[in-house]
Amino acid sequence: MNIREFGNENGPGILLLHPSLVSWDYFERLIPLLAEDYRLYVPAVPGYDMEDDSEFSSVEEIAVELEEALLARGVRQLKAIYGCSMGGSITLRMAVDGKVPAEHYILDGGITPYQLPWLLTRFIALRDFGTMALGKLGGEKLMIKAFSGTSYGEDDLKYIADIMKHCSYRTLWNTFDSCNNYRMPKAVMHFSGKVHYWYGEKERKVRDWDLKYMKKFIPDTRFRKIRGADHGDMAWFYPDRMAAALRRL
């Protein structure tokens, strides 16, 4: 796994985990705002690394791979682990593993595992995979049509289309199947670090299942609604707000 490091070598460490359909440079507008005071670890999640032909395996396996890579670099503790959407799933799994503990675990629109019958999870995985497969086939033109009512510009849509073109069908399938169904304890969880769940004001209804999951299984979670934002907007459209929020931790 390729992990890029930025910023102050002696500063508190922050691990930044991107969502699906983008890569590590999803954080390119945020990195300069934090680099002076923090040591930033920014991996390209396997399957979404434009520099190799890696595949996304599973939330559990990638969490372990990240932990081993950080430990090999001498990282024993972090100020924060931030993950958006897919990255939020990996963040939560790393919190459970506890191999590289953090003071703060932040799930920004993080995907929590479905608590549904197995057959229904297969149907949902097929539906999500079908949507992404069509997006991969349709490329930039389909991206423009699908996101016509959003704030994404043409350059943003071309970037997403290029990532999707690079992703294999196996990566797309494993991403949605695993993020919806990764293994977690079936009991109430408490962690030494603080758990935060951020969500955009415009995605509130879509995140209802995830909010209920966090309230049920991690009752100490601190919730924050991001005014005016939609899913995955913070690092992309509001890096100043995100940097300020991370500094307040």
Q: What single DSSP character describes residue 85?
A: T
pLDDT above 90 (res 245):
yes
d(CA 125, CA 153): 29
If you average pLDDT over residues 143-151, what whole number do you get?
51
- For 213-224, what is the mean pLDDT? 98
Listed range (149-158, 189-198, 223-232) with the worst mean pLDDT: 149-158
In degrees, rounded to 5, the angle at the alpha carbon of residue 215 between the alpha carbons of residues 214 and 216 is 90
Q: What are the strands, taking DSSP E only, across 12-101?
A: 13-17, 39-43, 78-84
Rounded distance between C-alpha atoms, residue 14 and residue 95, angstroms: 14
Percent of the residues in the chain that have a pLDDT greater than 90, as a whole number: 78
Residue 2 has pLDDT above 50, yes or no: yes
Q: Name all domains of the chain by residue range, CATH numbers in brackets.
A: 3-113+185-247 (3.40.50.1820)
Helix (H, G, I), strand (E, B) or coil at 179: helix
* Residues facing 196 on adjacent strands: 106, 222
Structural contact between residues 223 and 197, judged by C-beta atoms closer than 8 angstroms: yes
Does 136 have pLDDT greater than 70?
no
Give residue-wise pLDDT tens across range 177-206: 999 999 999 999 999 999 999 999 999 999
| Alpha carbons 44 and 22: distance in angstroms, whole number | 9
Structure tokens at 77: 């503790």
Q: Each residue of 104-135: pLDDT tens digit?
A: 999 999 999 987 777 777 777 787 777 777 76
